[in-house]
Structure 1
Amino acid sequence: MAGLLWGLVPALFSGVLPHLLDRWVKGHRPEAEPGSGKPTVLVVGSAASLICGLIIIVAYAAPRPVIACAAGLFAILIAVAIASQWRSPTGERVGWNVSVHAATSAGAAAICWVEFGVAAGLLAGILATAVALSRVLVRSLTRGQDGHTGVEALIGALVGAAVCGLIYLLLR
C-alpha cells in the first residue's frame, strides 16, 4: 500500500496537473497554429508542478526509485521543452513539436527494462510504441490540429528513453 501512495504523488504532479493545465491552455489558445510548439505557460506550469512533486517526495523521504523516476520525468520535460522551443538567432522557431506522450511512455519503458528486466522492458516498449503511434493517428484524425508527425513521435520516444533511462540509472 505504501508503494501505491508513493506513486500517487508523482502521478498527480507529473501527470494529472500538467494534463489539466494543457486542457486549460488549449481552451484559452484557440488561435494557435498547428505545430506551433508548446506554449511557454504550459512548459513553465508543468515544470513548476513537477518541481513541487519532487520537493514533496524528497522532503518525505520517498524510496530512491520513486525519486529517480520523478527526476527522469522532469528531465524529459526539460529536454522536450528545449527541442520544442528552440529559436534561431533571428527569433524564428526552428524546434519541433516533440511528443511528450511518446517521450514519457518510452522513459517509463526504459525504467521497466532497468528495474524489472528484458521481458518487462520489451512489453513496456510495445506499449510505448502504441502510445507514439496513437499520437500520429490523432494528427491524422484531427487533420493536423492535434497530435504529432511520425518524426516528432519518434524523436520524443528516443529522447524520453535516453534521458529518463540515464537519469533513473544515475539516481536509483
Structure 2
Amino acid sequence: MRKLCVMLMAGLTALLGGCSGVPAGVQPVDDFQLQRYLGRWYEIARLDNRFERGLSRVTAEYSLNDDGSVKVVNRGFDAEKGKWRQSVGKAKFAGADDVGQLEVSFFGPFYASYIVVALDREHYDYALVSGYNKEYLWLLARKPQLPQATIDRLVAKARAAGFDTDKLLFVEQAAE
C-alpha cells in the first residue's frame, strides 16, 4: 500500500510539473515591470480552452495581495446561461521578478505557467501571453479593441513561435 501511495504521488507530481515551464520557441519578456502590468486587461483573442469556452466580454484584473503575490480575477459573460462567470486566483513570479514568467493558480497549490511573450513596452497597452504549452495563448489589451495592425503583428509573432493561430477565437467585447 505504501508503495502504491508513493507511486501515485510521484505520478501526480510529474503531471503537475508538466503545467509549468516555457514551451519551445517561446521566450518571456525581460525588463518586466509588475506595477505597470497590474490593472484591467481585455481579452482580444485566445486559443479555445475549457475554462473559457463560450465566454464573451472576458477581462482579467490583476492587483497586489498583502503577501506580494498577485490577485487574479478572470471574468466573462456566458450568453447561453445569461450570467457572468468569475474565477479568482493568485500568481507569483516563477523566477526573477523582472522577467515576464509567472505561475498562476486557481486550484489551491496547483500552478500553471503564465508567460508574457510580447508586451507594449512604452505604455503596457497590449500583451501576448502563453501557457505552459502551445495550446494556451491570449492576446490582451487595456481597451476592448486593439488596432488591426497591432493584432496582425502579435498574431504573426505567435505563428512564428509555433502557435496554431488559425484557431484563434476573437472575443466579443463591449465598446467603452
> Normalising to structure 1: TM-score of the pair?
0.25
Structure that is richer in helix per residue: 1
Which has the larger Rg?
2
Structure that is richer in strand per residue: 2
